[in-house]
Amino acid sequence: MKIKTLIKAALAGLSLTIMAAPSIAPAETLRVMTGSPSRALNVPMNRAVVVESDVPFSELSIANPGIADISSLSERTIYVLGKEPGRTTLTLLGGDGRLITNVEIHVTPDIAEFKERLEQILPGEPIEVRTANDGIVLSGTVSSSARLDRALQLAERYAAGRVSNLMSVGGTQQVMLRVRFAEMQRSVSKQLSSSLAIGGDLLGGDLGTAGGTGAAVTEGGRTGALSGALPGSNDNQGAMLFGFNAGGLEVGILMEALEQRGVVRTLAEPNLTALSGQEARFLAGGEYPIPIAQDDDTITVEYKPFGIELNFIPRVIDGDVINLELNASVSAIDPTNGFNQNGFSIDAFSTRETSTTVEMRDGESFAIAGLLSDDFTDLNGQVPWLGDIPVLGALFRSAEYSRQQTELVIIVTPHLVTPTRGEALALPTDRVRPPSERDLFLFGRVASENAPTSGGAGEVARQDFSGSYGYVMDN
């Protein structure tokens, strides 16, 4: 009983071993028949294929030994080894010197191993691999340009310089870039100064004196304050002038105080769409002529663009990962910092620009540039010695305070986009139509009330734009 059990267990184990053993594929063999044309023999490079003849042969020859090497294993079996990609011919002759057959041999790159490596590195990509002459042809649709580059790099390892790319990239390959320039400038300045003037008819009216830091004195040492009017040379909006006289003595005091606050907000949002790998340019502004002196004493004119400018090259790397190479700028003409000489003037430019390369996903945002500037000026001036007198010295002193702050940030947001039907898009002018003569002359309407009711324009027309608008800033 025990012996039968052992025999059954051994047979079961043997059957499992046979089932688990990997199947061995038969070696590739080409059989040739006398008098019949032989099909071409494909031999992978550095691989061997066996050719069998139905009759014994006595002589073998290969047209190009550099492409394939041959050796006889028996009187009917030939061993063919691929050496270099190319085509050659194998000739078999019988014992009577008659031709048995000619075999066309194609030595191709070993794509079997390449296919295995391609499947391991890029699983799931439907890439088709074929051989053409001595090269490799890749075709199919891949999911991203990064995977396409990896497939080409791997193919170059097996056929350097002989890879034909017929692959295409699927998915969305168009990128819309939204750039936001936001700049806030704040300025505060305060000024305080005073002047004291004393005059009269003393010594025949020739005695008059003035002191301080303002402009309260007129010709002859007399102050115009006593007449109740501001001096004609003073254009300060925060000036107050008062005076009095005691007999022949006249006293005038001019107080100047001014406080200024200013806020400037700049916002630009250029949007631009481009195909992956292609450069796109955008300019909303103009061109300013700049004269250029030449060596032959002639003057030529060059034009410098200004306004909102955006140049970028998007590259969809893998899936929704986008690489952005961009140049963005906002510039404006600035006459205050221009060049003036002999009545000839050239304006300057105020520019905020950035140039960088970033990488992000669809819909993500990056603050690619920022600036915080804080300029502070504090100036105090006085008449020597007189300004140091307690209380009364304030009439001989002036103080000036100025502070300017600037905040700038540039944010970019890329989106993968696809085209849509034109009916779904609306223009800013779609909801505005010219008025009829009746609306214009009878009712004074500058636009027709018959707005579109369908499509994207109708959607815009149905929106309510009444109510508050603009910007509110809290100090």
The pLDDT tens digits of the residues spanning 451-472 come to 555 555 555 555 554 555 444 4
Q: Which domain holds residue 353?
A: 177-182+264-380+397-417
Which pLDDT tens digit goes with each residue over 362-398? 889 988 888 888 888 888 877 787 777 887 777 777 8
Cβ(109)–Cβ(102) under 8 Å? no
**Cα 423 from Cα 420, distance rounded (Å):** 8
Which pLDDT value is given to residue 224?
Answer: 42
Of the candidate ranges 178-182, 246-250, 291-295, 330-334, the one whose mean pLDDT is the lowest? 246-250
Q: Quick check: helix, strand or coil at residue 158?
A: helix
Same domain, 296 and 405: yes
Last residue of a domain, one of 86, 108, 130: 108
CA distance 189 to 403: 6
Q: Is the pLDDT of residue 121 over 80?
A: yes
User: Which of 3-12, 99-108, 369-378 bottoms out in mean pLDDT, i.e. has the lowest?
Assistant: 3-12
Q: Are residues 134 and 79 in the same domain?
A: no
SS (H, E, C) 186-232: EEEEEEEEEEEEEEECHHHHCCEEEEECCCCECHHHCEHHHHCCCCC
Q: Give the pair of three-digit tokens for residue 365.
A: 């945002």
Tell me the three state secondary structure of residue 62: strand
Q: How far apart are CA 418 and CA 14, in angstroms?
A: 61
- Tell me if 87 is assigned to some domain: yes
Q: What is the CATH number of the domain that holds 101?
A: 2.60.40.1080
CATH number of the domain encompassing residue 127: 3.30.1340.30
Mark whether 207 and 72 lie in a shared domain: no
- Please check whether residue 165 is in contact with residue 259, taking contact to mean a CB–CB distance below 8 angstroms: no
pLDDT band at 17 (very low <50, low <70, confident <90, very high): very low
Lowest mean pLDDT among 262-271, 329-338, 404-413, 441-450: 441-450
Q: Are residues 336 and 411 in the same domain?
A: yes
Identify whether the C-beta of residue 352 lies closer than 8 Å to the C-beta of residue 408: yes
CA angle 274, 279, 330 (to 5 degrees): 90
Q: Are 418 and 177 in contact (CB under 8 A)?
A: no
Position 358 in a domain: yes
Give the tens place of pLDDT for each residue, 272-294.
899 888 899 988 888 888 888 88
Please indicate, yes or no, if residue 57 is contained in any of the structural domains.
Answer: yes
Identify any residues that bridge with 324 across adjacent strands, giving them in sequence order.
Answer: 314, 358
pLDDT value at residue 470: 45
Q: Given this model, what pLDDT does residue 394 score?
A: 73
Q: Token match 């221009």: residue?
A: 338
Q: Looking at residue 357, what is its pLDDT? A: 92
Burial class (CB in 10 A: 0-12, 13-18, 19+), 320: middle
Judgement on whether residues 165 and 198 belong to the same structural domain of the protein: no
Sign (positive or negative) of CA dihedral 355, 358, 364, 365: negative
The strand pair at 271-275 and 174-200 is best described as: antiparallel
Which of 51-60, 186-195, 244-253, 325-334 is least confident?
Answer: 244-253
Q: How far apart are CA 194 and CA 199, in angstroms?
A: 17
Do 69 and 140 fall within a single domain? Answer: no
Q: Domain boundary at 196, 221, 256, which?
A: 256
- Give the residue from 471, 474, 426, 420 showing the smallest Cα distance to 452: 426
Q: Which range, of 185-194, 338-347, 445-454, averages the lowest pLDDT?
A: 445-454
Has residue 26 got a pLDDT over 60?
no
Q: Are residues 366 and 427 in the same domain?
A: no
pLDDT, position 463: 55
Is residue 79 located within the same domain as residue 59?
Answer: yes
416, 321 Cβ separation under 8 angstroms: no
Kindly write down the DSSP assignment for every residue of 449-460, as one continuous string. S----SHHHHHH
Residue type, 232: G
Across 88-93, average pLDDT? 88
| pLDDT band at residue 418 using 50, 70 and 90 as cut-offs | confident
Task: Determine, yes or no, domain membership for 7.
Answer: no
Q: Is residue 386 part of a domain?
A: no
Query: Is 162 part of any domain?
Result: yes
Reply yes or no on whether the pLDDT at 222 is more than 50.
no
- Give CA separation, 171 vs 126, 168, 273, 413, in Å: 14, 10, 16, 20
Q: 209 pLDDT band (50/70/90 cuts)? A: low
Please indicate, yes or no, whether residues 221 and 158 belong to a single structural domain of this protein: no
Q: Is residue 235 part of a domain?
A: yes
Average pLDDT, the chain: 76
Number of domains in the chain: 5
Q: Can you give the pLDDT at residue 227?
A: 44
* 230, pLDDT greater than 50: no
Return all residues near 233 (Cβ < 8 A) that are at least 6 apart: 215
Longest dimension (CA), the chain: 157
- pLDDT of the residue at 221: 39
- State the average pLDDT over residues 293-317: 87
| Statement to judge: residues 408 and 294 lie in one domain | yes
Select the more confidently predicted residue: 450 or 459. 450
pLDDT > 70: what percent of the chain?
75
pLDDT at 236: 53
CA gap 159, 134 in Å, rounded? 8
What pLDDT, on the 0 to 100 scale, is given for residue 248? 65
Q: In angstroms, what CA-CA distances link 299 with 290, 303, 345?
A: 10, 13, 15
Same domain, 279 and 340: yes
DSSP state of 162: -
Of 58, 78, 108, the residue at which a domain comes to its end is: 108
Q: Are residues 327 and 370 in the same domain?
A: yes
Q: Which residues 6+ apart lie within 8 Å of 470 measured at CB? A: none
389 part of a folded domain: no
